[in-house]
A and B are shown apart, each in its own frame.
Chain A
Amino acid sequence: MHHFANPTRFLRLADRIQPWAASLTMAFVLSGLYFALLSSPADYQQGETVRIMYIHVPAAWMALFCYTALAVSCAAALIWKHPLASLAGRATAPIGACFTLLALVTGSLWGKPMWGTWWVWDARLTSVLILFFLYLGYMALNNAFDDPERGHKASAILALVGFINVPIIKFSVDWWNTLHQPASVIKMSGPAIHSSMLIPLFLMALAFKAYFVWVLLIRMRGEINAMKVRALRMRQVHDAEQNRSTPVASEAG
């Protein structure tokens, strides 16, 4: 793992993966949307609105996946002081927050025709809303300090504390009686969805995953560059201080 702690080495690997991630995203989105919007049947009860599922379910999966990735990278940053892990956490959080928001908004749009309401305070919806707030808290805490290192450390601890919420979201539909339906794709007795709907669902899920990798690499690159710029600025300030350490040190402006 520490092999890729070197930013140059990481960037070289990222350069190689990024075009693949981008083209896979494109391929899966196009084929997934074709099956989801044109080639798959409408539901006999829900009608055409069932097609919201092909965005809603993958987005919700990614919301949980991103938080898990965030928690893992924060743990790596705290335990092994892996220099890129805290940047990975910082890069993951906004993506995860967007997926969570997407899941909430599409769920709300789907809830209106199906349940007759935009929002109910049941266990699944509430715990996902809390997940969204946890992402926001992570990002706010990460940016709240003048010293970025302190921000990384503090927000990493918060991310690990918030991880308690992930199993709660996963099992909320089993533990409480909710309006939200229980898991119907990944379960012991096999999926309860017909393959004509399962194929576009998985294609969209793969598309979201590839998109995540693609955007994560772009954001990581940005974070690494920002770190370099900051180091260069610090160097400049330091050098300027050194040069001025002769008599006229405290000159205003």
Chain B
Amino acid sequence: MNSFVQIVRRDLNLSFRQGMDSAMVVMFFVIAVVLFPFGVGPEPNILMRIAAGVIWVAALLASMLSLERLFQADFEDGSLEILVLQPVPLEIAVIAKITAHWITTGLPLIIAAPILAVLLNMNADGFGMLIAALALGTPSLSLIGAIGAALILGARRGGVLLSLLILPLYIPVLIFGVSAVDATLAGLSVKPHLLILSALLLSSLALCPWVGAAALRQAMRS
């Protein structure tokens, strides 16, 4: 537990000292969402209809953009080797890095989301559910993405490859995240959607650190 906290703190320190890096993810998120009113036209009814989906898709892309650096920097400067050699299980280190990644990217996205929902003319009833769904969904995105981030270490054109590997696996989170918000706006029960989102989170929490650690070991061995 102690080393878990230490790794999280180290990663948070690194990202705060690099300053703009995590802010850039939020800026990408905002700009990507703002493009849609220009693309589909500023008609309020259309925007209201697509708001939840647009915000979710943009959050998904933003969280994916930052994933490439999750292990890459440590892989290049050799600190990943030290993490692998530590007496702490590598799975713990992977969870710690994912936690730090979520704090630096997922959390700012959740904070920015209601503001964007206002811009997209979303009904105010949906705000709470949008935040709740993002709070359940974005950790799953970080967890699933960590697998991809570990697999592409040392690959040519890792960033583009990462999107090909990870986006198909993101689709379930996207579907149920959006349908939770849509169900609230339509006045239907949101419980099944939230339960499935939680199930996705719990199962990815159980599996992804393990798979990510296996992928990291393969990357270090060769």
Chain B residues lying within 8 Å of A157, measured Cβ to Cβ, are 147, 151, 211, 214-215, 218
- Contacts beyond the supplied A130-B171, A150-B222, A157-B211: 18 A-B pairs with Cβ under 8 Å: A130-B168, A133-B167, A134-B168, A137-B168, A140-B164, A140-B165, A141-B151, A141-B165, A144-B156, A144-B157, A153-B222, A154-B218, A154-B219, A157-B215, A158-B151, A158-B165, A161-B147, A161-B169
Closest to A127 in B: B171
Contact A161 B211 (CB under 8 A): yes
Contact B215 A162 (CB under 8 A): no
- Give A contacts to B, CB under 8 Å: 126, 130, 133-134, 136-137, 140-141, 144-147, 149-150, 153-155, 157-158, 160-162
Task: Show 25 A/B contacts (Cβ-Cβ < 8 Å), sorted by A.
Answer: A126-B171, A130-B171, A133-B164, A133-B168, A134-B168, A136-B164, A137-B168, A140-B161, A141-B152, A141-B161, A144-B152, A144-B157, A144-B158, A147-B222, A150-B218, A150-B219, A154-B152, A154-B215, A157-B151, A157-B214, A157-B218, A158-B147, A161-B147, A161-B211, A162-B169
Determine how close the nearest CB of chain A comes to the CB of B132; give it in whole angstroms. Answer: 23
Assess whether B154 is interfacial by the CB under 8 Å rule: yes
SS of A interface (majority): helix
Chain B residues lying within 8 Å of A162, measured Cβ to Cβ, are 168-169
Determine how close the nearest CB of chain A comes to the CB of B163; give it in whole angstroms. Answer: 10
CA distance A136 to B215 in the complex (A): 19
Chain A residues lying within 8 Å of B154, measured Cβ to Cβ, are 145, 150
Chain B residues lying within 8 Å of A146, measured Cβ to Cβ, are 156
Assess whether B35 is interfacial by the CB under 8 Å rule: no
Closest to A150 in B: B222
Assess whether B155 is interfacial by the CB under 8 Å rule: yes
CA distance A147 to B147 in the complex (A): 20
Determine how close the nearest CB of chain A comes to the CB of B182; give it in whole angstroms. Answer: 14
CA distance A210 to B19 in the complex (A): 59
- Give B contacts to A, CB under 8 Å: 147, 151-152, 154-158, 161, 164-165, 167-169, 171, 211, 214-215, 218-219, 222
Partner of A141, one of B155, B211, B219: B155
Interface Cβ pair total, 8 Å cutoff? 59
Chain B residues lying within 8 Å of A158, measured Cβ to Cβ, are 147, 151, 165
Contacts A150-B218, A153-B222, A154-B215 given: A137-B155 contact, CB under 8 Å?
Answer: no
SS of B interface (majority): helix
CA distance A130 to B169 in the complex (A): 8
Chain A residues lying within 8 Å of B152, measured Cβ to Cβ, are 141, 144, 154
Chain A residues lying within 8 Å of B211, measured Cβ to Cβ, are 157, 160-161
Contact B165 A149 (CB under 8 A): no
Contact A145 B218 (CB under 8 A): no
Chain B residues lying within 8 Å of A134, measured Cβ to Cβ, are 168
CA distance A157 to B161 in the complex (A): 15
CA distance A160 to B219 in the complex (A): 17
Partner of B164, one of A137, A147, A160, A161: A137
CA distance A75 to B157 in the complex (A): 26
Chain A residues lying within 8 Å of B155, measured Cβ to Cβ, are 141, 144-145, 154
CA distance A160 to B211 in the complex (A): 9
CA distance A161 to B158 in the complex (A): 19
Closest to A165 in B: B168
Chain B residues lying within 8 Å of A130, measured Cβ to Cβ, are 168, 171
Closest to A168 in B: B172
Determine how close the nearest CB of chain A comes to the CB of B158; give it in whole angstroms. Answer: 8
Closest to A134 in B: B168
CA distance A160 to B152 in the complex (A): 16
Chain A residues lying within 8 Å of B215, measured Cβ to Cβ, are 154, 157
CA distance A150 to B169 in the complex (A): 22
Contact A144 B168 (CB under 8 A): no
Chain A residues lying within 8 Å of B158, measured Cβ to Cβ, are 144
Determine how close the nearest CB of chain A comes to the CB of B221; give it in whole angstroms. Answer: 8
Closest to B168 in A: A133
Chain A residues lying within 8 Å of B171, measured Cβ to Cβ, are 126, 130
CA distance A153 to B216 in the complex (A): 11
CA distance A141 to B169 in the complex (A): 15
Determine how close the nearest CB of chain A comes to the CB of B152; give it in whole angstroms. Answer: 7
CA distance A162 to B214 in the complex (A): 15
Closest to B158 in A: A144
Chain B residues lying within 8 Å of A161, measured Cβ to Cβ, are 147, 169, 211
